[in-house]
Every structure is written in structure tokens, then in C-alpha cells.
Amino acid sequence: MQKFTKTTRTLAALLVSGTALTGVASAAEITANVGATTDYIWRGDTQAAGDASLSGGFDADLGNGLAIGTWVGSLGASATDANYELDLYASYSTEVGGLPLEVGYISYMYPGVADSGNDFSDIYIGTSVAGISITYYMNAGAEDDAYEDAEESYLSLDYEYALSDDISIGLHYGSQTYGEESDEYADNDDTAISISKGDMTMTISGNEDDDTRAIISWGAEF
């Protein structure tokens, strides 16, 4: 799941309006936004063969630390043969020993792919220490047996520094590992540096395969 908004930790969402959600909105705080990017990068790799991507979804804060949401992003000429990615997720946030803590579940789905063989899910736990966001993801299941057996995990470290009221710099390091040696799946580290002004972000992203990309993204929240 990629968030094409100002920061990598903001969930991309589509504006939800109309009377159908009036009752829900009274019981839960709904946030929404839309986004666009020149390349959909996820864990250091392009998800749409370098094509531009549009995204949308929504989040609902249910109170008491509980939240649910959905996200959809177009994939263009992706290797999965799917036109878009659809994610569903739920999370619980609290505080432990003075530190914020979030645990959650994400289901990644690729409608249109035969037998849904590319669908998988993660569970994650995250916190923030000295301004550095630390999130650890673990594979919670996959339709593809080889991917599920690989016991994939991903560690993400993110830091954002505000230069002014509307300009900030972001740094990212990610490390993807597998529990078993596999010809199909290999460990991979990725890095990124970004600068944001208002709703626009310019990012330079790279990985161990020397695949370096410059990405421009736009995102708006409602």
C-alpha cells in the first residue's frame, strides 16, 4: 500500500460525501483524501511498471484507539495483470510506557487477477522514538504458497523534519527479508529522501538493484 499524500504515514483516501454516511459520521470521525503520483513505489519497487497512478479511499476513527479504512490505487501496466490494488485495513492505537503504539492488519487484493493468486496480507506493529517512526510488518497469509512459505517481513524507519510551516524533509529506510532462501524472492533494502511543500512532494527512491527513481506526488485531505 502506497500513500500518495504529504507524508508516507498518511492514508490516501477519497472524499466521502452525501447523506448515506450521515449516521456513520455522527458515531465515527471520517477522514478522506485523494492522491496522484508519477510512479507507484512500494518497498522500493515500482508497482505499475513506472506508470503514473491515481489513488483514493477513506478512513474511519471509531474511537478508543480503533480505526478502519480502505484504499485503492491504479496499477497501469502492472506485472500482476490487475488494473488496480484494493486494500482493507484495521488498527488499534494506544500508549505504552509513554510511547505511542499501533498494531494493525492490512489485506492487499488485486481484483481481476485469475484465482486471486497475488492477494496477501500483513500484520504490523509501530511506534515512534525520538521523532523516528518504526514499523515492523509480517506476512499474515498469501494465496501464493511460495510467498506464504517465504515468511516475508519488512522493517520501515521514517523521519520527517519541518523546515517551515509548509516545507518538510523526509527520510526513509526499509529492509525486506525472507525466512527461507528462495529463487523467486530475495531480500532487499530501500531508501528514499523527499521534500514536501504544501500538497506536493518530490521523492528520490532507490533500492539494492540500483533502481533509482524520481517521483512527484500530490495529495489532498478532507
* Reported pTM: 0.85
How far is Cα 125 from Cα 107, in angstroms, rounded to an integer?
Answer: 15
Closest CA to 43 of 191, 194, 166: 191
CA distances from 194 to 93, 120, 168 (A): 27, 28, 8
Which amino acid is present at 14? L
**Any idea which fold 19-221 has?**
Porin (2.40.160)
103 burial level (CB within 10 Å; 0-12, 13-18, 19+):
middle
Q: pLDDT truncated to tens, each residue of the chain (222 aa)?
A: 554 443 333 333 322 333 333 444 456 899 998 999 999 999 999 888 888 999 999 999 999 999 999 999 998 765 557 788 999 999 999 999 999 999 999 999 988 765 567 899 999 999 999 999 999 999 999 888 877 788 899 999 999 999 999 999 999 999 999 876 566 788 999 999 999 999 999 999 999 887 899 999 999 989
User: How many other C-beta atoms can be found within 10 angstroms of the C-beta atom of residue 97?
Assistant: 6
The residues spanned by each domain of the chain are 19-221
Q: What is the DSSP string of 181-201?
A: --SS---EEEEEEEEEETTEE
